[in-house]
Each structure stands twice: as C-alpha cells, then as structure tokens.
Structure 1
Amino acid sequence: TVRAPGEDPDGGWGWVLVAAFFVCNSLIYGLMRVFGIFFVEFVQYFEESAQAISWISSIGVATQQSTGAALGNAYGARVVVMAGGLLAGLGLILASQATSLFHLYLSMGVMSGLGWGLIFSPMMATVIAHFTRRRTLALGVSLSSIGLSAFAFNPLFQMLKEMYTWRGALLISGALSFNIIPCGALIQPKKPSLAAERLSVLFERPYITYVIAASLFNAGYFVPYFHLVAHSRQVGFSEYQAAFVLSAAGATDILGRIFSGWFSDLGHFRLIHLLAVWTALTGLSILLLPVSSLTALYPALMVVSSVYGFCSGALTSLVFAVLPQIVGVSRVMGALGLFQMIESGAGLIGTPLSGFLRDITGDYVASFMMAGSCLILGSLTLGTLPHFFSCTLRNILNTVAIKTKHGPNEQRAT
C-alpha cells in the first residue's frame, strides 16, 4: 500500500524525497548559477549589450517561478516533475545550437525555465508535506545542493567552455538535466487535489505582505550570480579567479543552508524573525561586494563573497519554511504556486535592471547597490527586525537575571 505523505512525517520515504530534491536543485539552481560564466561569452559572440543578455536569465527565472504548482495540483507531482526534467534538458540542448539572442530567449529562457518551474514547486510541496518538526532542516539539506553544485560547477564549466566552447558546455548541461526524470519517478503516486482554496490566500494580509517582501528579495537575490564573474574580470582578475569567487560563495552557501535549518528547528526564535535577519545580512554583503573587488584585493573579495554565500543560503530555506506557518500545510501547493508567480515579476526585471545600470555606468557597482538595497528593503517590509532584536535583548537580560539570582545560592551550596 502507498502511504500518504502526512501519515509518516519526519522520516521514512520523506528522506528519499529529500535526496531526490537535492539532485533536482543542483541541476536547476546549480546550473543557473554557473551561467554567469557564459555571460561575457554571449555579450561578445552575439555583440549585444549586458542588458539584452541579462534577459536570458530573467526570462528563465520568471518562467521557472510562474509554473508548476497548478499543474502539480491537477495532474500529480510525479508526472509534472518528470515532464519538467525533459523540458529542462531539451531547452539547454537547443540553446547550445543558438544562432541568435532570440533563440536563447526561447530555449534557455522559456523552455528550460518552464521545465525548472515544473520541477521545483511540486518537489518543494512534496517534501514539506512529509515533514513537520524537522521541516526546516529537511529543506536546508535539500537546498544545500545548490551551493554544492555551484562550488563544483563553476570551475568545471569554465574548463568545459575552454575545451568545447560555450556550445559544448551547454550541451553537456542539457544532458545532465535529464537526470531529473528518475528523481521525479521517486515521488509516490498521489491523487491530484483540487485548487479551490488556492485563490483565497490572496485575501489574507499576512500572505500578501510576505509575497511583497519576497518579491523584493527576488529582485536582487540572483544579481551576483549573473554579474559577479563579469565584474571580477572587469576589475582585473583572471577567468579562473573570477569563477572561484562564485565557488567560494557556493561552498559557504551549503553551510548556511544546513546551519540555518538546524538552528531554526531548535525553536529559539520565530522563523520569520530569522528570515528578516538573514535577508538583511545578505543585502549588506551584496553592497560590500563591489567595495571589496575595487580594492583589487582578491582575498577581500573571496571573504565577502563567502559571507554572501553563507547568508543567502541561510535565508533560502526559511523563505519556504515560513510559508506553511502562514497558510497551513494543506494549502502549501497552491499558495507556493501563487507565491512564485507573483514574485516572478520582480525576478523578471531585477537582472535586466542591473544590466541596464551597468550599460549606463560602465561598471557593475550600481548593479550590486540596487540588488543589496532590494534585499534590505524586503527585510524591512517583513516588519519583524525590531521585534527580533527586542526579544533577543529580553532573553539575554532574563538569562543574566536568572544567573545573578541563583549564583550566590549555588556558591553557598557548594
């Protein structure tokens, strides 16, 4: 017999799905994060502006975030994820044969983006449904593959690009994406659910506030992954040095996701408070990225990039772990779909806006300033930072008061 996801939380087949989601994320966001390596090549090969090339990633991100959940509700997560793996691989293979920028928009942007969208939301909702007490940790482990793959893929695809040109490297990435299909097959068959309550969350103030904040996150979150390599090369670092900057961010990203999941599940602070703190720190680290690189000190750039990777990884698990607390587990699939559909608008304009700023200023400093400011503003939109710091201060004072009260008694007892 097939056991429903809610019957065996925090164990069993849920950990198999965590492993499958781990692989899927590495082949979605891990690959998306190495496309910064192709950015300079595309600008030179197609003789287009940075803004025009940036639309490739923005179309992919927007398409990825606006599909998946509705089809998962209608046809079941298993079929939808497997179809997504097929489309993601085909899109990258077709992109390897591109003869124009519009071709890349359709193949890498629309087709692969659609495939990624069919994978992420249903897999995310399936993992969430299998966990309760350890949900944030499970999501942290699942999403840690993004940093791991970014760490490994950046130097790997830099080498593949030099050996086989950007076309060969994209062809290989398409073949790798087909491994998502067997991962989708691991999802247990489940009767598709109706989405009658899906739109009801749009009338709930906490959900709307959260979506607005996440949209601001999304406008700036991906900018470093698409422009940091080009920026590093522009200020004088070699191609491999620039690639390893992203690898450093990918390595600490892994630690950030796992640490965030473990620490959040301890229950010392509310998840939304922790999300606000990590988001503000991520925005601050993005603001510091061009400052560190303009000093021409490579170790300084590596340190700031590592801090950025850790903080951005820490916030990612919480973005999705907070959602069930706002709408309830039973409405996660529909709420997640709407959540990503709405915030995709910000993702659509974020990277091209950063590319436009680069075109008019001649460097990427303004791009990073815009991105970091968006995350800090999103953190403030949550409206939880003052409450978080007041709670933290109160806990510290209570701890000190308890130790002061019992300290002399304990000394006399000894």
Structure 2
Amino acid sequence: MARRAEPPDGGWGWMVVLSAFFQSALVFGVLRSFGVFFVELVAAFQEQAARVSWIASIGIAVQQFGSPVGSALSTKYGPRPVVMAGGILAASGMLLASFATSVTHLYLSIGLLSGSGWALTFTPTLACLSRYFSRRRSLATGLALTGVGLSSFAFAPLFQWLVSRYAWRGALLLVSALSLHLVACGALLRPLSLTEDPAVGGPGAQLSSLLRHGPFLRYTVALTLINTGYFIPYVHLMAHLQDLDWEPLSAAFLLSVVAVSDLVGRVASGWLGDTAPGPVARLLMLWTALTGVSLALFPVARTPTALMVLAVAYGFTSGALTPVAFSVLPELVGTGRIYCGLGLVQMVESIGGLLGAPLSGYLRDTTGNYTASFVVAGAFLLVGSGILITLPHVFCFSASASKPQDPKMDAVDTQVSLTKEGLQED
C-alpha cells in the first residue's frame, strides 16, 4: 500500500465519517437511551438503583478499558475486520440480554459482551477518521459524532414505545438487530498508510513515549474526571423526572430535547474547533466547565420550563465538548500515535465510566433523591476543566497555536520533541 505524506482531508475520508456517524449512533445512542430500560429493570428484578446502574457502567467501562485491544488489533489487521467483529459481539450481547433472568446475566451480556463489541468499534473508527483529516479534523469529528445526538433523539422515544409494546425483553431483541448494523459500518473503513508511521515505532515505543509526556497524562486525568459525571443524565435523568411525577413519555421527550441540543452543539463546536484562534484545548475547557455547571443546577430546576432550559444547556455543552476532546489528542501526540494514544486514554477513563453511574445510584439510595447525584457529577466536570487549564498554550492566542502538528514534519523529529516536552513538563 502506498504511503501518503499527509492526511487527504477528504476523499474516502468522508465515507469514514459516514461510518463513524452510524457507528457512534449504534453505540452511544443506545447507551444514552438506556435510562428507558433502567426504570423497567429496577421494577422487573426488584433491585436497588445502584445495582441496576452497574449494567450501563460495566458496558461503558469495558468499551473504554478494552479500547487498547481494539487499537492493537487495528494496527495489526486494519480497522475493517476489527469493527465488523465488534458489531457481531455487540449484537450478540443484546440478544442474550433479552433472555436474562437476573441482573447478573445483564452484567455479563450487555456489560461484558456488548461492551467488548463496542470496544472493538468505537476507538478504531475514531482513530481511523483522525488519520484521514488534519485541517478539518474537528469538523469531521463533529459531523461523525452527530450520530450520537440524532440517535438519542430517536432512540429514547422509540425504546419507550418498544417497551410499552413488546416489554423490555422484546425491545432488547430489536436493539440487537439494530446493533448488527455495526458490521456494515466496519465494512466502510479503509486503512490509510502515512509516511510517518514507520518512524514512530511499534506499540511499545509509542507507549514509553506517551507515559513520559506530561500534557498527555494530564489530559488523560481530566477526561477520566469528565467521564465520571458525563453520562449521569442519560442513566438517571428519566428516573429523576419520574420522582418529580413526570409521565414516562414526557420524560423521554425531555431526553430527546437533550439529544437535539447535543446534535447542534457537536456541529457548532466542530466548526469552531477548525476556525477559532488559539488551541482546541481552550474550547474543550470552556465546554467542560459549562457542562458541569448545567449538571449541578438540575436539582434546582423544578418547573417544566426550567428543566427544559437546563436540558438545552446541558445537551449543547456536553455535545460541544466531545468533538474537540478527540481533536486535542492528535495535537498533543501526533497522528502517527493516534491509535495507541486514543486506546490508552479510553482505557484509563474507563475508571470514570465504571464508577460514575453506581456512585450516582448510591447517592440516590442514601439521600432519597438525585440532588447529590447531579451536584457531584457537575463537580467532577468542573475539576476536569481545571486540569485542562494546565495543557500547553491554552492561553496563547497566536494562529500557530491553534493548528495541529504539521503532517509533513519528519516523524523522528516529532518523536524527539514529544519526549523532550514530556520530560520538561514533568
């Protein structure tokens, strides 16, 4: 395969964007709409909220903790067969979940099996997309991740209707059929070979460099904290609204409002990430702080109007932080290390995904309401935003600071500068 000197910033890359669009919809759109099943499963198995919350948390954690496996397999075999295999695993997990007789069965089917499938799909697809784009990376990532917002808008009321029509077992069976479309998403991926790839070394050399890179390590810690609070509304907002005596369909509609706002936020942030002066990390810091504030204010809102305003604010800002979060990483570590870097970040931040929802459920069981759950979730994001301030050039307004590394830069020089910068930052 011929090696390209730089990412094409288009061409087949737009088909990769299309693949990532549907793939993100079928992974995180399902996870974000899991609140519909959460209420049903608590009632069906007569379990506490904290224990049922582990289903989604295990799925998120396995998806992220297993990301280095997906990255390593993609480096060896290419992203296409890896993502296709992940689609089969994700669909199989949902299929088995429809026959579950205990919450433990759901831990194994949705949490472990589907989570493993998601681990083989999400990170390789996003890493492949990052290699196809440079100047338009934030916009391409934002467009790809709009699949999350659109699917959340559609899936929340759809799943609620399916549950009311076919019960939760039949609904999960149909979700399994939807998940099988991940195989088609994987078939669209075409690996891209860049001239810098041989010089960056194998996974061991890349890992050694990254573990000595101060900004990369701080960025990873920040995303872990963000991840701890980020998913709380998608697991517990519906239950919180039912505590306020909302009807299930009305609560599902509010989740759809969040999803539409999320969609707008992703596109707007992707455009700003490629056009606004200064580094993308500054935008990530801003959106993270605003998301944390909106989360902490949810318990204060009691009227439908106030909840609607907060839903719009949370949806927009939480959607806006996602594409720039993925765009910051190539600027920190270079395109040649994106598979290894993204896999490592996803693995570490799985700690937040694993603990976030159960902690929120525990606070609900202890206090009797979700006030502490949302306040603590917001606090995690605010602390993460504070750590992002320490990244290089966050307060630099020069045009050069806003651009990613030159893809034509010799990869050996990039390796040396990356290691030196990490040692100096430490």
Instruction: Check whether the contact 1:197–1:331 (CA below 8 A) recurs between aligned residues.
Output: no
Q: Cα 1:340–1:70, aligned 2, differ >3 Å: closer, same or farther?
A: same
Q: Does 1:276 align with 2:285?
A: yes
Q: How does 1:50-65 map to 2 (within 5 A)?
A: 50-65=49-64
**C-alpha distance in structure 2 between counterparts of 1:317 and 1:148, whole Å:** 15
Aligned to 1:251: 260
Aligned to 2:421: none
**C-alpha distance in structure 2 between counterparts of 1:42 and 1:198, whole Å:** 43
Instruction: Check whether the contact 1:155–1:247 (CA below 8 A) recurs between aligned residues.
Output: yes
Instruction: Check whether the contact 2:279–2:396 (CA below 8 A) recurs between aligned residues.
Output: no
Aligned to 1:25: 24
Aligned to 2:377: 371
Q: Give the count of matched residue pairs.
A: 388
**C-alpha distance in structure 2 between counterparts of 1:242 and 1:106, whole Å:** 29
Q: Cα 1:41–1:310, aligned 2, differ >3 Å: closer, same or farther?
A: same
Q: Cα 1:78–1:384, aligned 2, differ >3 Å: closer, same or farther?
A: same
Aligned to 1:124: 126
Instruction: Check whether the contact 2:33–2:159 (CA below 8 A) recurs between aligned residues.
Output: yes
Letter in 1 for 2:273: S
Which one has a larger percent helix, Structure 1 or Structure 2?
1
**C-alpha distance in structure 2 between counterparts of 1:216 and 1:10, whole Å:** 32
Q: Does 1:312 align with 2:318?
A: yes
Find the residue that maps to 2:135 and give its secondary structure: coil
1:7 CA drift (Å): 5.1
Instruction: Check whether the contact 1:6–1:130 (CA below 8 A) recurs between aligned residues.
Output: no
**C-alpha distance in structure 1 between counterparts of 2:206 and 2:78, whole Å:** 16
Instruction: Check whether the contact 1:64–1:115 (CA below 8 A) recurs between aligned residues.
Output: yes
Q: Cα 1:6–1:80, aligned 2, differ >3 Å: closer, same or farther?
A: farther
Find the residue that maps to 1:98 and give its secondary structure: coil
Aligned to 1:400: none
Find the residue that maps to 2:298 and give its secondary structure: helix
Letter in 1 for 2:187: A
Letter in 2 for 1:310: F
1:389 CA drift (Å): 7.3
Q: Does 1:199 align with 2:207?
A: yes
Instruction: Check whether the contact 1:19–1:142 (CA below 8 A) recurs between aligned residues.
Output: yes
Under a length normalisation based on structure 1, what TM-score does the superposition of the two structures give? Answer: 0.90
1:85 CA drift (Å): 0.4
Q: Does 1:147 align with 2:149?
A: yes
Taking only the aligned residue pairs, the percentage that are identical comes to 50
Instruction: Check whether the contact 2:128–2:192 (CA below 8 A) recurs between aligned residues.
Output: no
Instruction: Check whether the contact 1:272–1:384 (CA below 8 A) recurs between aligned residues.
Output: no
**C-alpha distance in structure 2 between counterparts of 1:7 and 1:128, whole Å:** 12
> Is there any run of 5+ residues in structure 1 with no aligned partner, and where?
393-414
Aligned to 1:327: 333
Aligned to 1:48: 47
Q: Cα 1:124–1:178, aligned 2, differ >3 Å: closer, same or farther?
A: same
Find the residue that maps to 1:65 and give its secondary structure: helix
**C-alpha distance in structure 1 between counterparts of 2:2 and 2:28, whole Å:** 30
Q: Does 1:224 align with 2:233?
A: yes
Aligned to 1:405: none
**C-alpha distance in structure 2 between counterparts of 1:37 and 1:382, whole Å:** 33
Q: Does 1:352 align with 2:358?
A: yes
**C-alpha distance in structure 2 between counterparts of 1:121 and 1:5, whole Å:** 22
Instruction: Check whether the contact 1:82–1:182 (CA below 8 A) recurs between aligned residues.
Output: yes
1:384 CA drift (Å): 5.2
**C-alpha distance in structure 2 between counterparts of 1:185 and 1:108, whole Å:** 24
Aligned to 2:158: 156
1:70 CA drift (Å): 2.2
1:8 CA drift (Å): 5.0
**C-alpha distance in structure 1 between counterparts of 2:249 and 2:278, whole Å:** 40
**C-alpha distance in structure 2 between counterparts of 1:103 and 1:131, whole Å:** 41
Q: Deviations over 1:264-308 (max 9, x none)?
A: 10132310111000000000010111211xx2x112111101110
**C-alpha distance in structure 2 between counterparts of 1:120 and 1:352, whole Å:** 23
1:4 CA drift (Å): 5.2
Q: Deviations over 1:190-248 (max 9, x none)?
A: 68984233312011111111111110001000111000001001111110111011100
Under a length normalisation based on structure 2, what TM-score does the superposition of the two structures give? Answer: 0.88
1:387 CA drift (Å): 8.1
